[in-house]
Chain A
Amino acid sequence: MNTHPYKPNIATVQDTWFETYGDRCIKTFKVVFDDEEVRDNWTHLPGQCAMIGVLGTGESMISISCSPTEGKFLRFSVMRAGKVTKALHELEAGDKMTVRGPYGNNFPVDEWKGKNIITIGGGIGQAPLRPIIEYIRAKKAEYGDLTVVYGARTSADLCFKGEFSELAKVENTSCRLSIDVKEEDWPHYVGFVPALLMEINPSFENTIAITCGPPIMINFVLQNLKKLNFPDEQIYTTLENRMKCGIGKCGRCNAGNLYVCKDGPVFSYATLKNVPEAFA
């Protein structure tokens, strides 16, 4: 068993597909560890990340976008942006990638039992929210209502498009999608995610709100959640920063005195509102 913190495990890409297209396209990878022992011993919870990479190019910290309830594989949805993500995008089924982790804390899923959950995502920000949605869906009896609010600039920019209609059929679950500008045959909301949130007007009582997306969206979502009287302790987000080591040594991912890789990426607003760099 590999216990070396910097030595990655080899995993094989089983399947890939594009979530979105264009310059900054998002590709999803379904991967399985080559080593059976690693596969059997791997445990993660929604919210955690992994360092994935291509040998000879490097590694990037990417949120694990599947729930452990889905099976003995991992999913990563990666936007093509820099050197490593470009190399990752070259990978097809059968190719190898490296994975080490899981890193960071997780959504406090045990603490949230019996509560209603509302996720508010934008763009690629849905990737870290997908595992908590899938986790709750698998353990629906243990949680209250699930509301999924998700938006992107256009319908083509939405990730996991095929999943929402099925999700909406789950008991006590609703999905509200939005795009910024009107399109023909778009049956859902047109406008920005924070405005859609106000229209849904969720009650804060016994409810946890989790948001992830572009900084500007998070900013307005937080303001609106406060208008809806959500206490700081019931608002969660996940942060991202540039990372190298993933284990709190290399220095760079700090927001104030918190290392996103170790103390995060999941934080409650009660914690973050006192961290000056949290939304920088």
Chain B
Amino acid sequence: MKLNKDKLADFLAAIPGKTIFGPQLSGETLKFTPITKTGDLCLTANNTTVPPKSVVFPQTETMLRFEQGATDIRTAEPAGETVLFGIRPCDARAMYIVDNVFFWDVDDPYYLARRTNSTLVGMACLDPCVNCFCTSMGGGPASTEGLDLLLTDLGDSYLLEVLTGKGEMLCQGAGNLLDEASVADKEAAKLLQQKAAGQIRRKIDPSGIPARLPALWESPVWEKVSASCLGCGICTYLCPTCHCFDMQDETEGAESRRYRTWDSCMFPEYTLHASGHNPRPARRERTRNRINHKFSYFVDKFKVIACVGCGRCINLCPVNIDILDILSKVGEEAL
């Protein structure tokens, strides 16, 4: 099917009862926020600075509410239905990967509710960023893992591919706004997607990395790659597959809440014991954990690399630490 760009506002308006999130500027930061008018959507910009994980796994989220001195604990109200419109395939794939964590063994009720209630409308990347490397991590500019619908920009219209039942439901109310896509449209989209994949310059073969990492535990490589790290945590905060969180209690007047908030393995407090002992005392150990978690531990547990090649950690690092540089050192280091 095909959606003429003139009908985008009508298409979104035809989705009843769901909050529609899209990439929009919030101050100077591009992130997924509820859409009020389609003109504010930044659909041609590349990856949002803040990954759309913020919709299903908010940066700060209330878990429990209680009153000071009382023992009645209320769990947070269930999340409503959402649509993530214009999510990039790498970010959708990241959610698909992170699902493993939140649905492993015990379901996380907050994530489960938000994730089940979300429909992911992807936007194929036709103009990848300079640091994108999705094709090395098992994805691509038009990969569909995690997506319910995929749009490809054909100029004055979007080719619309329905991928799941959820995606089909979303289109139900908009039937009269959609046109049949011709064979030529589909071929044009395919060519654009292939061209985009060809434009990705940064590449690495990660296949040997998980096996090499355990042997490089004491390697000097960790000292080298973490030497300039400031420990700011941006690489993990804004990583779409990073899922670590802290839990804290907060009291205001008589009302208290327990909330969770994104945390980072790059912070010393993350692992600091109350005794003062820290099993990961320095950036060397913390950087080693970050890489091992994504490329070794996660692979052991869930059989997939916890990196989608979105390039955010490279783009946003204030001292230009480059995960591909780390990975190539890991790949070259003598075992």
Task: Show the binding face of A for B, using Cβ within 8 Å.
Answer: 4-8, 10, 34, 55-60, 81-85, 96, 98, 215, 240-242, 244-245, 247-252, 254-257, 262, 276-277, 280
Q: Beta-carbon contacts of B96-130 to A below 8 Å, as 1s and 0s?
A: 00000110111111100000000000000000000
Contacts of B293 in A (CB 8 A): 251, 254
Task: Show the binding face of B for A, using Cβ within 8 Å.
Answer: 63-64, 66, 68, 71, 73, 75, 101-102, 104-110, 214, 217, 243-249, 251, 256, 258, 260, 263, 265, 270-275, 277, 279-280, 285, 289, 292-293, 296-297, 300-301
Q: Are A251 and B263 in contact (CB under 8 A)?
A: yes
Q: Are B248 and A257 in contact (CB under 8 A)?
A: no
Tell me if A's interface is mostly helix, strand, loop or mixed.
loop
Of the A-B pairs whose beta carbons lie under 8 Å apart in the complex, a sample of 19, sorted by A's number, is A7-B64, A34-B71, A55-B249, A81-B275, A84-B274, A85-B274, A244-B246, A245-B247, A248-B105, A249-B101, A249-B102, A249-B104, A250-B245, A250-B260, A252-B271, A256-B292, A256-B297, A257-B301, A280-B279
3 closest cross-chain pairs (CB), A and B: A82-B274, A251-B244, A81-B274
Contacts of A7 in B (CB 8 A): 64, 73, 75
Q: Tell me the bound Cα distance from A34 to B258 in angstroms.
A: 21
Q: Tell me the bound Cα distance from A60 to B248 in angstroms.
A: 11
Contacts of A240 in B (CB 8 A): 273
Contacts of A56 in B (CB 8 A): 66, 68, 249, 251, 256
Which one of A5, A215, A242, A249 has the greatest number of beta carbons of chain B within 10 Å? Answer: A249
Contacts of B102 in A (CB 8 A): 249
Given contacts A55-B256, A85-B274, A242-B271, contact A4 B109 (CB under 8 A): yes
Among candidates A81, A83, A251, A255, residue contacting B243 with C-beta atoms closer than 8 Å: A251
Contacts of B289 in A (CB 8 A): 254, 277
Q: Tell me the bound Cα distance from A277 to B275 in angstroms.
A: 18
CB distance from B221 to the nearest CB of A (A): 14
Chain B residue, CB-CB nearest to A24: B275
Given contacts A81-B275, A251-B265, A252-B270, contact A5 B108 (CB under 8 A): yes
Q: Tell me the bound Cα distance from A85 to B246 in angstroms.
A: 17
CB distance from B265 to the nearest CB of A (A): 7
Chain A residue, CB-CB nearest to B102: A249
Among candidates B109, B217, B246, B277, residue contacting A5 with C-beta atoms closer than 8 Å: B109
Q: Are A5 and B244 in contact (CB under 8 A)?
A: no
Q: Are A250 and B271 in contact (CB under 8 A)?
A: no
Q: Tell me the bound Cα distance from A266 to B215 in angstroms.
A: 25
Contacts of A82 in B (CB 8 A): 274
Chain A residue, CB-CB nearest to B279: A280
Which one of B63, B260, B271 has the greatest number of beta carbons of chain A within 10 Å? Answer: B271
Q: Are B249 and A248 in contact (CB under 8 A)?
A: no
Q: Tell me the bound Cα distance from A241 to B289 in angstroms.
A: 15
Chain B residue, CB-CB nearest to A57: B249
CB distance from A246 to the nearest CB of B (A): 9
Given contacts A248-B105, A249-B245, A276-B217, contact A55 B71 (CB under 8 A): yes
Q: Tell me the bound Cα distance from A56 to B66 in angstroms.
A: 8
